[in-house]
Structure 1
Amino acid sequence: MKSLWFLEDVNLFTILCPHQFKEFKDSHQFYFFKKNEFVYFEEDSADKIFLINYGKVKIGYVTEDGEEIITAILSKGEIFGEKAILGEEIRNEFAQAIDKETSICPITTNVMIDLLRENKEFSLKIYKFIGYRFKKLERRLQLLLFKDTKTRLKEFIKELSEDFGYKNVITGDIIIRQPYTQKEMATLIGTSRPTLNILLNELKEEDYLDFDRKEITLKNHRKLVN
């Protein structure tokens, strides 16, 4: 059930952070953010890529109507701001810390390109990862625009099962180790936490899933295609 989201269980931070390399170690510094502090804003210069050491960061943008749209919530070992190595010069999204304390490794675009150039196999994985994230974002935005909230939730759980799930070989259930709080899940599917809780309980009554704070259990993986 693994996907490119995990890059075959590779923690990007442990491989790409410049403090791992002798030539960069002495000059490299981490950034630290408190809850709700911004790493960058829309329209900022896109001259760095960031790796999360610990904590969580949400990525999103604000519509012309002032509505905040969240496209991703990222945690330890994940990369963001990656469009800078694809030629983006100005940010078209914001990045905001959402944990009490978040530690981030900044990498300038030039240094990142040098690091990737030294390992062609890994650089290929990075570009595949970026392509996967773009597809994931496009799919999520389509759901927000054209699907009802319950359908968005079921599709989101399907996505979680692909990224974080494993199959119980005895029952055929899929167990998802919950990476998000209910508040974060609600944000990602564009609804409120009370509505999310109502829908989760509806799906539980329909025997579609079971859930607690740590796990979501899909009772029968074939229901994903329904």
Structure 2
Amino acid sequence: MDKTKIWFLENFSMLQVLSPEEMKMMDNMASMRDAPKNQVLYFSEDSANSVYLLKKGKVKISKTSSDGREIILAILGPGEVFGELSITGQEKREEIAEVTEDAVICKVDLPDFEKMMEHNPKFNLQVTKLIGFRLKKIQNRLENMIFKTSEQRVKSFIKETVMELGRDILGEDNQKVVELRLTQEDISKLTATSRQTVTTVFSDLEKKGIIKYDRRRIFVKDMKALDE
């Protein structure tokens, strides 16, 4: 058995509900490979016949608008799953998945993934929750692009990221910290703003004592102030 692949799979929180026997089944189903920067894993209109798990690197999920503009839906890091909409009955991809930082990925064919969902109700629930969460997150981001200013979009992004991935500061109800895998360039793409706008907003928030940012993490000193 490929111990490296088993270790990789065990580090996905979504897979931790699987028994040791089921992990071996998943190991047999999955194929692991390196994917270099700029490689497109799938295009829109490609067959939606597999699910991907990202061990290392970054993957950008995007769409192309009717006027040819790129719309970034997500920039994913290690431990995340993508291509999951194939489970909903999507026959063709509606988005593009492109490697933006040399990656290591596992690919599981859709029939095998569905078999595992049928075999384990807890795993089925985990996958269902993931799909619902992703769709809601994308919907919120698209609504922000329509109804909010550039500054509001960046502040909303900080708040959503910290709420989703951050941890509380002991004894401080209104403070959180999050380890950041994204550059300011990534954030500008996710919020449909310029990098200069992101830099300006971050700098302004630091001067006001609302956040502290050091390229590896964001420490939010006043969560409520991000709504202003």
TM-score (norm 2): 0.86
* Whole-angstrom CA distance in 1 between matches of 2:167 and 2:26: 38
* Partner in structure 1 of residue 88 of structure 2: 86
Q: 1:210 aligns with which of 209, 212, 218?
A: 212
* Partner in structure 2 of residue 134 of structure 1: 135
* Partner in structure 2 of residue 5 of structure 1: none
1:1-226 residue pairs with structure 2 within 5 A?
11-12=13-14, 21-22=23-24, 25=27, 28-99=30-101, 101-171=102-172, 172-226=174-228
Number of aligned residue pairs: 215
Residue-by-residue CA offset, 1:45-103 (whole Å, 9 max, x unaligned):
1111111121111101111211111000111121111111110001110000011x211
Quick one: structure 1 residues 184 and 15, their matched pair in 2 at CA, closer, same or farther if it must change by over 3 Å?
farther
* Whole-angstrom CA distance in 2 between matches of 1:192 and 1:146: 17
CA deviation after TM superposition for structure 1 residue 217, in Å:
1.6
TM superposition outliers: structure 1 runs of 4+ over 6 Å: 13-16
Structure with more relative contact order (C-alpha pairs < 8 Å, separation 6 or more): 1
RMSD across aligned positions (CA): 2.2
Quick one: structure 1 residues 155 and 28, their matched pair in 2 at CA, closer, same or farther if it must change by over 3 Å?
closer
Quick one: structure 1 residues 58 and 187, their matched pair in 2 at CA, closer, same or farther if it must change by over 3 Å?
same
Is the 8 Å Cα contact of residues 12 and 80 (structure 2) preserved in structure 1?
A: no
SS of the residue corresponding to residue 90 of structure 1 reads: coil
Is the 8 Å Cα contact of residues 33 and 104 (structure 2) preserved in structure 1?
A: yes
SS of the residue corresponding to residue 175 of structure 1 reads: strand
- Pick the structure with more strand per residue: 2
Q: Quick one: which amino acid aligns to residue 113 of structure 1?
A: E
CA deviation after TM superposition for structure 1 residue 142, in Å:
0.4
* Whole-angstrom CA distance in 2 between matches of 1:14 and 1:76: 16
SS of the residue corresponding to residue 176 of structure 1 reads: strand
* Whole-angstrom CA distance in 2 between matches of 1:50 and 1:118: 19
Counting aligned pairs with the same residue, the percent is 33
TM-score (norm 1): 0.87
* Whole-angstrom CA distance in 1 between matches of 2:227 and 2:138: 20
Structure 1, unmatched stretches of 5+, are 1-8
Quick one: structure 1 residues 67 and 148, their matched pair in 2 at CA, closer, same or farther if it must change by over 3 Å?
same
CA deviation after TM superposition for structure 1 residue 225, in Å:
4.0
Structure 2, unmatched stretches of 5+, are 1-10
Quick one: structure 1 residues 24 and 124, their matched pair in 2 at CA, closer, same or farther if it must change by over 3 Å?
closer
CA deviation after TM superposition for structure 1 residue 10, in Å:
5.1
